[in-house]
Amino acid sequence: MTISRRGALAGLGALSLAGGAGAQQPFPSKPLTLIVPFPAGGPADIFGRQLAQGMSASLGKPVVVENKSGAAGVTGMDVVAKAGTDAHVIGIASASAGSIMQTLMPKMPYDPDKDLAPIVLAVKIQEVIAVNSKLGVTDFKGLLARLKAEPGKWGCSSAGTGGITHLAIELFKRETGTDILHVPYRGAAPATNDLLAGVVQMTILDVPVLLPHIRSGALTALAVTSDVRAPLLPDVPTVRELGFPRINSDNWYGLFAPGAASAADRARLHEAATAALKSKELIDAYTAVGGIVGGGSPDELAAFRRAEVAKWAEVIRFANVKLE
């Protein structure tokens, strides 16, 4: 039996179409979901939405933000960890879900080392040591003098047990040899309100949270717990300048994909996120709320995260911190 040239070409065309139909579509092939593991309206939500907008422009697909809070960010990042190979689901983890809870939570629902793939460090948020201005403490040296003269009598508010603002207090106590009463609250707002009311005497919270009250004169900023001065508080010295470089408690947010996502998809996400982080719109938006724009490679974020895990694990053991 002979086959005509026209029939052979038709057969090849059919095979080509069949192969094309089964071929994997280039990434991204649909809208992406960016999990923000905290409520809408907070700093994490602001950082996440701005990053999503910037990535959408580069990827050519919408990046839709979904807020899924709980367990200091672990609940939301668990969604990313359980997404399998689907890089269309990504998440922005804070220091808590990204490093602290790995030691503090008795049983994590996922393995951060295996189930989350680092993409890029998105932003750092500095913290500031502040006191109620009515106390008359005007500098860091004066604070230490008062704390050592009145051991155990000063209350220091945090945004909750086990979070970075709590561990920042424990780190401060360890490095300065002072005795302070940790007073946990359910969030930064009530922690700030009781400081303003004089219920507690001091706090260590994110710069953008305390900035309005520092500017009004109700609170006095004594030091930024970072290696560099805060752009929004240029006159406030860093703990490094004051001789306490180990009291560094920068909060941070990193972008992660599912651990099983392909290397090609992760590279595309890194490319889009990096482009967004270099845009003037994002830099201006982050700077306005006290964020310091990040960047770097996935390997650099992985190394940074491992260092953060080790650092906070040491503080947790030293202070015998337990989740409530």
Q: What is the CATH number of the domain that holds 131?
A: 3.40.190.10
> Rg for the chain (alpha carbons), in Å?
24
What is the distance between the alpha carbons of residues 41 and 44, in angstroms, rounded to a whole number?
8
Range of the domain at 83: 32-125+250-319
Residue at 27 is within a domain: no
Same domain, 150 and 72: no
Whether the per-residue pLDDT at 23 is higher than 60: the answer is: no
Please name the residues in contact with 306: beta carbons below 8 A apart, sequence gap of 6 or more. none
Number of structural domains (the chain) is: 2
Share of the chain above pLDDT 70, in %: 92
Residue at 297 is within a domain: yes
Other CB atoms within 10 Å distance of the CB of residue 117: 25
Residue at 21 is within a domain: no
- The reported pLDDT for the residue numbered 1 is 42
Same domain, 290 and 146: no
Same domain, 181 and 193: yes
Mean pLDDT is lowest, of 19-23, 102-106, 314-318, for: 19-23
Same domain, 41 and 114: yes
Same domain, 309 and 298: yes
Residue at 142 is within a domain: yes
Same domain, 258 and 209: no
Same domain, 193 and 261: no
Q: Classify residue 313 as left (phi > 0), alpha (psi -120 to 50) or beta.
A: alpha
Residue at 301 is within a domain: yes
Residue at 300 is within a domain: yes
Please name the residues in contact with 14: beta carbons below 8 A apart, sequence gap of 6 or more. none
Quick: pLDDT tens for 201-216: 999 999 989 999 999 9
Residue at 161 is within a domain: yes
Whether the per-residue pLDDT at 11 is higher than 80: the answer is: no
Same domain, 89 and 145: no
Lay out the sheet containing 219-224: strands in order across: 181-184, 155-158, 202-206, 127-132, 219-224
Structure tokens at 71: 């367990």
Same domain, 65 and 121: yes
- The reported pLDDT for the residue numbered 279 is 96
Location of structure tokens 């939301």: 76
Location of structure tokens 């300048």: 241
Crossing angle for the helix pair 164-176 and 298-319, to the nearest 10 degrees: 60
What is the distance between the alpha carbons of residues 59 and 199, in angstroms, rounded to a whole number?
49
pTM for the model: 0.87
Residue at 152 is within a domain: yes
Same domain, 121 and 131: no
Quick: pLDDT tens for 227-271: 999 999 999 999 999 999 999 999 999 999 999 999 999 999 999
Whether the per-residue pLDDT at 13 is higher than 60: the answer is: no
- The reported pLDDT for the residue numbered 197 is 97
Q: What is the CATH number of the domain that holds 50?
A: 3.40.190.150
